[in-house]
Amino acid sequence: MCKMPSGKVGFSKAMSNKWIRLDKAHEGGPRVFKTVETIEDTVRDKLQLVQKGLSAKLKDKEKNELKKRKLLSEVTVKSYRITKGSSFSTTITKQETELTPEMIASGSWKEKKFKPYNFEAMGVAPDCGHLHPLMKLSDLLCGHILGKIISHMLG
């Protein structure tokens, strides 16, 4: 009955759409009978819409049904348009980060390009903090005791 690989799927869809009926009580074994004269295949129409590039006309429910049957897969394609900007150049010039006294003295700062400052940057976290007085005492005592042990061992 279902000799083709997709025959089982097609047969079950035709049964659910009531295009055919299966008569198991027929003499000589089960038989399949046609119940409608013409078949209106909506899945084929939907796939042809997608092929023509009109997938926006399909409802989400219809798209999900086609995806579930692995007849449709959505792929996102990203494209970028690249154009020359206002500061386009064929040569690479290093922008300066700091204004030095030498630049001011020679006047070379007038021709140089400077990087813009980022005032929103978080910066480096400063190393700060002090030892608790008891921790200072603990470190001091450990150092003295360790020194005594070493001097006693050596000498």
Residue 14 sits in a domain whose CATH number is 1.10.10
Domain range for 24 is: 7-68
- 44 is a domain residue: yes
- 137 is a domain residue: no
Positions in the chain whose pLDDT score sits under 70:
1-7, 155
Amino acid symbol at 13: K
- 63 is a domain residue: yes
- 11 is a domain residue: yes
Which among 78, 34, 42, 33 has a CA at the least distance from the CA of 61? 42
Classify residue 55 as exposed, middle or buried by CB count within 10 Å of its CB (0-12, 13-18, 19+). Answer: middle
User: In the prediction, which pLDDT does 82 show?
Assistant: 93
Classify residue 4 as exposed, middle or buried by CB count within 10 Å of its CB (0-12, 13-18, 19+). Answer: exposed
Q: Is 23 helix (H, G, I), strand (E, B) or coil?
A: strand
- 32 is a domain residue: yes
- Please count the structural domains in the chain: 1
Tell me how far apart the alpha carbons of residues 63 and 76 are, in angstroms, rounded to a whole number.
Answer: 15
User: In the prediction, which pLDDT does 41 show?
Assistant: 80
User: In the prediction, which pLDDT does 81 show?
Assistant: 95
- 107 is a domain residue: no
Tell me how far apart the alpha carbons of residues 146 and 135 are, in angstroms, rounded to a whole number.
Answer: 16
- 37 is a domain residue: yes
Tell me how far apart the alpha carbons of residues 66 and 73 are, in angstroms, rounded to a whole number.
Answer: 8
User: In the prediction, which pLDDT does 101 show?
Assistant: 92
- 60 is a domain residue: yes
Buried-state track 76-99, b at ≥16 Cβ within 10 A, e below 16: eeeeeeeeeeeeeeeeeeeeeeee
Tell me how far apart the alpha carbons of residues 59 and 126 are, in angstroms, rounded to a whole number.
Answer: 57
User: In the prediction, which pLDDT does 2 show?
Assistant: 57
User: In the prediction, which pLDDT does 77 show?
Assistant: 92
The DSSP bridge partners found for residue 21 are 33
